[in-house]
Amino acid sequence: MDKHQVAQPALPVGLLLSEAVNQEYGKQFDEIAKRIGVPVQRYTINEVQGKIDRINAAFFSRDLYDGSSLHEPGPSSNAFFHIVDKASQLTWLHVCSSGLDLPQYQDTIRRGIRITTSSGSTALPIAQTTLAAILALSRGFGHWLPAQARKDWAPLTGKALPADIETQHVIIAGAGAIGLTLGSMLLAVGFKVTIVRRNATPIPPFVNVIDYTGLDHALGQCHWLVLALPLNEQTHGLIDQRRLALMPAHARIANVGRGALIDESSLIQALSQGHIAGAYLDTFMREPLPTSSAFWTLPNVWITPHNSAASAGHGQRVVRIFEREYERWLTKQRTTLAG
């Protein structure tokens, strides 16, 4: 057998879970396994020592991510992947995130093990949070809230009056679940929406769909640019000094993708000098955001700590996605064992 080939799993197959998920959902997972006809032994992090070679599948659930940031795994995450990285019989890992750029995934990726994600689990809350920020800043809360903190009765008048929503144009870079969900919400409120994607094929209900060759022209006509796309070689530094200079002075940016989509130093300069009106930022090049960052003190910037997906139902949505993938994996195991 090739040294990288995983042996046919012995029965029962082993599934690694967090303590919390095992307690709340373990019996549901057993029912799925029983229905498909593959015996499964559940293991938790605390009880798997000495049995790591029995682990064939692992579920990195949302509770295990708590205490982590994009670049710095927390204690629970480290404990989980300490086991995963030693599991010589592992054939499948399901993760709570939508992407695979977290550092703790990289050893598993290098090993060639199948990884499935929870893509879509955060789309609705992220879209809702972004909509809230866009509406609040478009309507004047960027002025009213600081005035309240100063106990200053300062109504918006004259040239300071906000533009009507129906006249505002939002460009959304990214046609994944987040971008399309947010786009539908913005259309319902009355914004004009343009979707930017790799090709300009229409996506109902969006009338305006362009590819990235049309982005420069669109930037000159926007009130908001929303970044809701993954980070890769093509998107790294997508919004640089040149593209920021194309945006009108009344325009704002919302970034709910990855910090490296934007040249942060150029963005700070544009915000500081009034070349653009403001920003809502959920993600940054370095996370946690250093206290020395100028973003913290810029008056025209709203920050959430990579937390726009915050939702009490997030963990449960991740479990539901895991269950679908679990059924597929078990069905494949049954076929393998039968052969």
Of 117, 116, 115, 114, the closest CA to residue 6 belongs to 114
DSSP symbols for 95-132 = ESSSSS--GGGHHHHHTT-EEE--TTTTHHHHHHHHHH
In a domain, 3, yes or no: no
Same domain, 85 and 197: no
Looking up residue 53, the CATH number of its domain turns out to be 3.40.50
Same domain, 134 and 276: yes
Is the per-residue pLDDT at 168 higher than 70? yes
Write the CB contacts of 95 (distance below 8 Å, at least 6 apart in sequence): 60, 102, 105, 115, 116, 117, 118
3-state secondary structure of 180: helix
Is the per-residue pLDDT at 268 higher than 80? yes
Same domain, 207 and 264: yes
Same domain, 267 and 150: yes
Same domain, 126 and 100: no
Per the structure, the count of domains in the chain is 2
In a domain, 175, yes or no: yes
Query: 124-144 b/e with 16+ CB inside 10 Å = b?
Result: bbbbbbbbebbeebbeebbee
In a domain, 102, yes or no: yes
Same domain, 138 and 287: yes
> 105-132, pLDDT tens digit by residue?
999 999 999 999 999 999 999 999 999 9
Same domain, 53 and 101: yes
Same domain, 259 and 129: yes
What's the pLDDT score for residue 339?
A: 63
> 175-190, pLDDT tens digit by residue?
999 999 999 999 999 9
Count of CB atoms situated within 10 Å of the CB of 198: 10
Is the per-residue pLDDT at 60 higher than 80? yes
Same domain, 159 and 110: no
In a domain, 2, yes or no: no
Region of residue 54 (phi > 0: left; psi between -120 and 50: alpha; otherwise: beta): alpha
Is the per-residue pLDDT at 7 higher than 60? no
In a domain, 7, yes or no: no
Same domain, 317 and 257: no
Strands (E), the chain: 13-17, 40-44, 55-60, 92-95, 114-116, 169-173, 192-196, 208-210, 224-227, 252-255, 278-281, 301-303
In a domain, 1, yes or no: no
Is the per-residue pLDDT at 287 higher than 50? yes
Looking up residue 216, the CATH number of its domain turns out to be 3.40.50.720
Same domain, 199 and 71: no
Residues spanned by the domain of 93: 13-117+313-338
**Contact call for residues 237 and 263 (beta carbons, < 8 A):** yes
Its pTM stands at 0.92
Band the pLDDT of 11: cuts 50, 70, 90: confident
In a domain, 283, yes or no: yes
Count of CB atoms situated within 10 Å of the CB of 318: 25
In a domain, 4, yes or no: no
Band the pLDDT of 1: cuts 50, 70, 90: very low
What percent of the chain has a predicted confidence (pLDDT) above 90?
94
Same domain, 294 and 317: no
